[in-house]
């Protein structure tokens, strides 16, 4: 899926890396003649690319960004207290990931735009991608909560 670039940095060996607003990183090397991105070596060139989108295959694969930290969680919901809003399509804000964590039971988890429709259990958590519509449906008794993650402050 397309994600906008929010900043640039270097990897360990000095190659340019773009950070996307989902938190994933993507190399944006300039290594002519094979990869030509002369813009990446100037500050103004990079500045012009902020906000442009790149295709994030890590999001497509529900890959949780490893450095994100939990900052908030919901109360524990059951089949009786499940807020109806969670049964309809809804999404988190830009840069906010979530984990649907089951303590007991099962829960249907749907992400239509990624053709994902799976059954969550205590052994199978649900990954919530930033800004991507998703919903859950009851399958029977359940106890679960949702934990939200964001990028740590960076210097």
Considering the complex, state which of residue 22 and residue 86 has its C-beta at the smaller distance from Zn ion. 22
Dist CA 37 CA 107 (whole Å): 46
Dist CA 117 CA 94 (whole Å): 23
24 lines the binding site for Zn ion (CB under 5 A): yes
Task: Kindly write down the DSSP assignment for every residue of 64-94, as one continuous string.
Answer: --TT-EEEEEPPPEETTT--GGGGS-B-BPT
User: What is the three-class DSSP state of 136?
Assistant: strand
Least distance to Zn ion from the beta carbon of 21, Å?
Answer: 8
Q: Return the range that interacts with Zn ion (CB under 5 A); candidates 24-32, 33-41, 71-79, 86-94.
A: 24-32
Considering the complex, state which of residue 76 and residue 114 has its C-beta at the smaller distance from Zn ion. 114
Least distance to Zn ion from the beta carbon of 87, Å?
Answer: 26
Dist CA 126 CA 108 (whole Å): 9
132 lines the binding site for Zn ion (CB under 5 A): no
Measured CA distances, 50 to 53, 62, 112, 129, 149 (Å): 8, 24, 29, 21, 23
- What x-and-dash track marks residues 40-59 binding Zn ion by CB under 5 A? ----------------x-xx
Considering the complex, state which of residue 19 and residue 146 has its C-beta at the smaller distance from Zn ion. 19
128 lines the binding site for Zn ion (CB under 5 A): no
Considering the complex, state which of residue 132 and residue 146 has its C-beta at the smaller distance from Zn ion. 132
Considering the complex, state which of residue 11 and residue 104 has its C-beta at the smaller distance from Zn ion. 11
Question: Positive or negative CA dihedral for 9, 11, 15, 17?
Answer: negative
Residues that bind Zn ion (rule: CB under 5 A) add up to a total of 5
Q: Could you tell me whether strands 77-78 and 135-150 are parallel, antiparallel, or unpaired per DSSP bridges?
A: antiparallel
Q: Name the residues that contact Zn ion, by CB under 5 A.
A: 22, 24, 56, 58-59
């Amino acid at each position: 899926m397309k994600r906008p670039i929010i900043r640039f940095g270097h990897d360990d060996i000095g190659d340019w890396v773009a950070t996307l607003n989902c938190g994933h990183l993507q190399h944006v090397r300039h290594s002519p003649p094979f990869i030509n991105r002369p813009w990446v070596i100037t500050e103004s060139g990079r500045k012009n690319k902020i906000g442009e989108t790149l295709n994030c295959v890590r999001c497509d694969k529900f890959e949780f960004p490893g450095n994100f930290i939990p900052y908030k969680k919901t109360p524990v919901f059951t089949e009786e207290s499940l807020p109806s809003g969670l049964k309809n399509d809804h999404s988190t804000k830009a840069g906010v990931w979530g984990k649907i964590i089951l303590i007991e039971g099962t829960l249907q988890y749907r992400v239509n735009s990624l053709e994902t429709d799976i059954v969550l259990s205590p052994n199978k958590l649900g990954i919530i991608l930033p800004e991507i519509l998703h919903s859950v449906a009851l399958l029977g008794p359940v106890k679960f909560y949702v934990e939200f993650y964001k990028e740590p402050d960076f210097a």
